[in-house]
Copies of this chain bind each other. A is one copy, B any other.
């Protein structure tokens, strides 16, 4: 039956898809994937194609956003779109789903694990203490988007943690590193001239969530700048005031100095 299914791949590699997602992917006549909002680790797509037993056509941003290829196929076949994380966190997925529904195509979502909850989970921070999420973008043509600064400031003012997702430059196959992100935060502070970000601020870094060996580190910004992190996909957290157990978690699970508990 013609249908368009958004299948979440989860966080890291070919094994993070759910049983349900795998079953439905196998039933699909045609499989697409988009890897410009997020990516699986190196080599995972090939393994995933083997497990599913079908070829996956990876669409670039323009092809995906136009959506034409997908919608044409979904009018006559069962089409699956593989998306890293939990589908529909990007506007472009919602837009495609709406276009499909308007053309009378049945749509469905198969959920996957998302960086939105994985980051706080790995750090042991409490999910209900997070405020609004923000994405730190690569500076483009010397313009550095300032909205993350406002989000962080606002969250801190309300005693809420901030999850900061880091940009992906899909065209150049480049992820923003933790160090780049930390430096951008300092740059934003200088541009804004506020008192939000400082070198003595406690921060947490999470990389390669979902892998066997995620990078999880918490400490003062100046110390994190000196750390060497393995390559991969990173996110940051700027914690507000910590509950006792959260502080303990950052010490025990993320290597923060015990100082943070006495503060």
**One of A73-81, A91-99, A169-177 at the interface:** A91-99
Complex formed: what's the CA distance from A132 to B157 in Å? 13
Contact call B87/A121, Cβ cutoff below 8 A: yes
**Interface-located stretch among A27-35, A123-131, A188-196, A230-238:** A123-131
- A:139-169 near B, CB below 8 Å: 154, 158, 160
The one of B112, B128, B249 in contact with A98, judged by C-beta atoms closer than 8 angstroms, is: B249
Cβ of A111 within 8 Å of any chain B Cβ, yes or no, is yes
Q: Does A207 contact B (CB under 8 A)?
A: no
Q: Nearest chain B CB to A260's CB is how many angstroms away? A: 15
Interface pick from A9-17, A53-61, A179-187, A221-229: A9-17
Q: Of all chain B residues, which has the CB nearest A151? A: B128
* Chain B residues whose C-beta falls within 8 Å of the C-beta of A11 in the assembled complex: 111
Q: Is residue A89 contacting chain B, with contact meaning CB distance below 8 A?
A: yes
Q: Complex Cα distance A131/B159, Å?
A: 12
Query: Cβ of B8 and Cβ of A88 under 8 Å apart?
Result: no
Residues 76 to 124 of chain A near chain B (Cβ within 8 Å): 85-89, 91, 94-95, 97-98, 101-102, 108-109, 111-114, 116-118, 120-122, 124
- Complex contact A91–B19 (CB within 8 A): no
The answer, yes or no, to whether A4 is at the interface (CB within 8 Å) is: no
Q: Which residues on B sit within 8 Å (CB–CB) of A87?
A: 121
Q: Determine whether the beta carbon of B101 is less than 8 Å from that of A252.
A: yes
Contacts of A248 in B (CB 8 A): 98
Does A19 lie within 8 Å of B20, measured CB to CB?
A: no
Determine if A89 and B102 form an interchain contact, defined as CB atoms under 8 angstroms apart.
no
- The residue in chain B whose Cβ has the minimal distance to the Cβ of A158 is B154
B128 and A130 contact, CB distance less than 8 A: no
Q: Which of B102, B212, B245 is in CB contact (< 8 Å) with A94?
A: B245
Provide 15 A-B residue pairs closer than 8 Å at the C-beta atoms, listed in order of the A residue.
Answer: A16-B19, A18-B18, A18-B112, A19-B22, A85-B117, A86-B121, A88-B122, A98-B248, A98-B253, A109-B122, A111-B209, A114-B116, A116-B116, A131-B132, A154-B158
**Known contacts A113-B113, A113-B114, A130-B133, then 8 further A-B pairs from the complex at CB < 8 Å, ordered by chain A residue:** A10-B113, A13-B20, A16-B19, A88-B120, A91-B245, A98-B249, A109-B121, A111-B121
A positions within 8 Å CB-CB of B: 8, 10-11, 13-20, 22-23, 51, 85-89, 91, 94-95, 97-98, 101-102, 108-109, 111-114, 116-118, 120-122, 124, 126-135, 154, 158, 160, 209-210, 212, 245, 248-249, 252-253
